[in-house]
Amino acid sequence: MSDTEVKKRLPFVPLNKPEGQIKPADLRRSNVRKILETELSKEINGVTRAEGLVARLVTMGIQGNLRAIELIMAYMYGKPQAQVQESDSKPFVLELTEGETTNEANSEADISI
């Protein structure tokens, strides 16, 4: 027997049960939310499907899946705001002119040996 960890998978539960069949007419926008809430609230081995999805998302984030990390961070802290820089309608113009020099500036600059 090896020392590696064996992951236990939850049993597969098909959605197409006769008592819970989803018909195409039920897939209207107003009903989809109700159907998802019903399906995600079902328990398997004492854990709801929603809790299982969150646990899987966190596991994927820990394993380094960047998209899972982004999704977790967006839900926990909100999406970062886009930084928009407004540009002026006028172009930036820098004018360089020669200024008058004073005696102090010349005396410091023209030090001779």
Give CA–CA dist 25/5, Å, rounded.
45
Please report, rounded to a whole number, the percentage of residues in the chain having pLDDT higher than 70.
Answer: 56
Helix (H) / strand (E) element for 57: namely: helix 49-62
Is the pLDDT assigned to residue 112 strictly greater than 80?
no
Residue 1 confidence class, pLDDT cut points 50, 70, 90: very low
What is the model's pLDDT at position 70? 92
Which amino acid appears at position 90 of this protein?
Answer: K
The pTM of the full predicted model, rounded to 2 decimals, is 0.47
Side-chain half-sphere CA neighbours of 57 within 13 A: 15
Is the pLDDT assigned to residue 109 strictly greater than 90?
no
Helix (H, G, I), strand (E, B), or coil: what is residue 50? helix
- Note the pLDDT tens digit of each residue in 25-70: 666 666 788 888 888 999 999 999 999 999 999 999 999 999 999 9
